[in-house]
Structure 1
Amino acid sequence: MKYYLSLIAVASLSLLSACGSNDEPEVVGGPADPMAKELANAAPVELPPAVKDSRSYRCKDNSLLFVDFLADDKTANLRTEKGGAPTKLVAPEAGKPFVAEGGYSVEGSGAAITATLPGKGAQSCKA
């Protein structure tokens, strides 16, 4: 009985010792990358800013607005429906009103904003 246990132990150790070996061949000088020069000379990629604050607002005319303020403090995404497509609003510098073509404007970024939508005048909205 002791003989079988020692054989099992030796066989187990020999199998486990083979787990750490690396038998895969090393590839040296593989195929050349056809876009290597373009990638080396490409401009650095700038990631879009993260969402800093997301709020829903009730306006004076009883409409709802959904605004995502981004971390760069110069960009906001405005939606007039909860699942609707966003309109990207951009401010020339931090602290200035966010605007977009077509008559969109949002001034402020806290609990109260002033929003202007196409076909509507400026109105105050509260979170």
Structure 2
Amino acid sequence: MTIRTTLLALGAVLTLSACNKDDHTIVEQGPVDPMANELAAAPKVELPPSIAASKTYRCDGNKVVEIDWTERNGKPAGANYRVGADTVASTVTMAPAEGTGPYTGPDGSSITGTKDASSVTVTVPGQSAITCRA
């Protein structure tokens, strides 16, 4: 019993002697950020538009078009579309003045219609326009 008490006391003394007795300085602001000025001067980051609706359309010539209609701040921003299963998705954006024309893409593609319309007209570069129904 005496050995057990002695070992317990010795363990407590060793544990307490391991404590660091140095002074600690707590800084409220934390370390200085070397890029703080650059980050403050950086332009605001604009997130991509969110998907408002995803629809699949059946078109003339038995084609299928998948369109993801996008919005930014509750207003139409454009669409990402794919004609058929084996094609790469393309992007079209809203006309500069909302409601003045179709969504157009940099490659010459366009979509006339809205996410709420029952039919849209899709024009792909090098092909004639096709009418599609939801």
Q: TM-score, normalised by structure 1?
A: 0.70
The separation in 2 between residues aligned to 1:68 and 1:111, in whole angstroms, is 15
Q: Percent identity?
A: 36
**Structure 1 residues 38 and 115: CA distance shift in structure 2, 3 A:** same
Aligned length: 103
Name the SS of the counterpart of 2:62 in structure 1: coil
Task: Summarize deviations over 1:5-42 as a string: whole Å, max 9, x none.
Answer: xxxxxxxxxxxxxxxxxxxx774154321210011111
Q: Is residue 54 from structure 1 mapped to residue 54 from structure 2 by the alignment? A: yes
Gapped runs of 5+ residues in structure 2? 1-23
Unaligned runs of 5+ in 1: 1-24
- Equivalent position of 1:123 in the other structure: 130
Q: Tell me the equivalent position of 1:97.
A: 102
Contact 2:63 / 2:84 at 8 angstroms: preserved in 1? no
RMSD over aligned Cα atoms: 2.2
Larger Rg: 1 or 2? 2
Deviation of the 1:63 alpha carbon: 0.7
Q: TM-score, length-normalised on structure 2?
A: 0.67
